Amino acid sequence: MEQVDFSLVNWSRAQFALTAMYHYLFVPLTLGLSFIIAFMETHYVRTGDPEWKRITKFWMTLFAINFAIGVATGLILEFEFGTNWSNYSWFVGDIFGAPLAIEGIMAFFLESTFFAVMFFGWNKVSKKFHLISTWLVAIGSNLSALWILVANAWMQHPAGMKFNPDTARNEMANFWEVLFSPVAINKFFHTVTSAYVLSSVFVIGVSAWFLLKHREILFAKKSIIVASVFGLFASFLIIITGDGSARNMAKYQPMKFAAMENIYTGQQNAPLAVIGFLQKSHADTLINKQDFTFKVEIPSLLSIMAFQDASAYVPGIDDIVNGNKQHNIMSYKERSEKGKVSIMSLAEYNNAKKAGNDSIANAALAKFEDNYAHFGYGYYANRDVNELVPNIPLTFYSFRIMVGLGLHFIALFIVILILTRKNKIENKRFILYTALWSIPLAYIASELGWVVAEVGRQPWVIQDILPTIAAVSQINTASVQITFWIFFIIFSGLLIAEIKIMASQIKKGPETESK
């Protein structure tokens, strides 16, 4: 069995997870608050009501604070692809780099350029031009998210590519397949709409604080109405895109789907466990099996969710690992053998090309291409199959907590919108405190969505093509550990600074407009 420095792999994963999770504390508020601000300023331009200008400028200040700190963490995240994941960058850099380059050249440039006009251009440019700048910032920030999410979706479902055996790199064969793959489109809309929900909860929670303090009553109510309508609309879109995410996962990442639902043995009319508690099984099995100690199920719902057919067969972890000939599911052992053939054939092709033996090179290339779909499994030909099963409890619980919080936010939007419209909200202290404390819950739900997406697909960096153990840079583990703690200190400092600055600005409240 080939030796793998799991200490290096795990610390590299930990460092990237740390950076990504800190970065995503800032991103969703940028994506959603930009549109909320645009709606508010549109209302100001249409009505000429100076109160809407005050409201817009207050939320714009909070947006600017969040935007500045988010940029800093995002830059470090992109550099880590070259420092910690150089094998990955080499293997797929031609494809993965394209959407990131477009994001920097087009979307981030658009967002940054008009941000200056939006933030500093009050009373310096016309109302309409300022409004256009605000909308372009919102569009630009969401376009940035589009290209980054396209890159991530390609890792979940590699499409539009062709492997070049002469350079040992994947190259883009069809840009539009990469951009418009079903996973990419659904992932973009699901992620940005979840950001809209978080931003709406943030605006409602801060507004609730003003009402609890009996300050800026009109400001708070107007902000709540905009945010609750926007959040409610986004919540319904999340339900639609979440349904699409489940179908894509069942089709392209069946192991993630099985782990998320803790399905060990596949079945027809598969029920969905709405609530469940797990414990490690004591059965004599190679797989890290989890047993339910308690669960509440909805019959056949999982089959419907995965394949839109109540009688559809949903494969379980055992089916995927050990195979199921009846349902044409190849075992991990078979796939690892085919992957090993693919890796060896590539080496044989390169040796034959160097020796000038075209007939052997062509035969090896044909064998390589026939087995390339299993290429990544070749790294596990002599390894424990448990390494190919993701962390089941973490994926299972993260999904259910995320969904539960999503339902809580929908109820919050409906209740608080009705109470605000009836002018009763300022007297409902329990609801106001619920709204205020829902702000951290929104961030938890947002992070848990990424836990499901990224932990659930382990051990793959690129699904079925490149595992984590083969993607990491061969660098000193100690250097990764040192930078991990350096980043932890820096990011924690940035987060504390943002919270303090935000809190100070909120306590200060919206400024009175000079006449």
Residues forming beta bridges with residue 294, ordered by sequence position: 277
Rounded Cα distance, 465 and 245, in Å: 21
Main-chain phi, psi angles of 160, to 5 degrees: 65, 30
Residue with token string 């994941």: 85
Strand, helix or coil for residue 9: helix
251 vs 231: CA distance, rounded Å: 30
Radius of gyration of the chain from its Cα atoms, rounded to whole angstroms: 25
CA pair distance 390, 452, nearest whole angstrom: 10
Q: Which residues of the chain have pLDDT under 70?
A: 1-2, 107-108, 284-287, 513-515
Q: How far apart (Å, rounded) are the C-alpha atoms in residues 126 and 130?
A: 6
Helices 182-212 and 392-421 cross at an angle (nearest 10°) of 50
Q: Which are the contacts of 472, defined by CB distance < 8 A and separation ≥ 6? A: 8, 9, 12, 84, 85, 87, 88
Sequence-distant (≥ 6) Cβ neighbours of residue 445 within 8 angstroms: 194, 198, 401, 402, 405, 406, 409
Buried (b) or exposed (e) across 146-160, using 16+ Cβ within 10 A?
A: bbbbbbbbbbbbbbb
Residue 515: per-residue pLDDT? 45
pLDDT at 71: 74
Q: What is the pTM of this model?
A: 0.92
Cα 459 to Cα 77, 252, 253, 416, distances in angstroms: 20, 15, 12, 43
Residue type, 36: I
Q: Are the beta carbons of 66 and 30 closer than 8 angstroms? A: yes
Distance CA 288, CA 219 (A): 54
DSSP letter at 311 equals: T
Reference 135, options 208, 214, 35, 62; nearest CA is 35
Cβ atoms of 491 and 73 closer than 8 Å: yes
Write out the H or E segment, with its range, that includes residue 272. Answer: strand 272-280
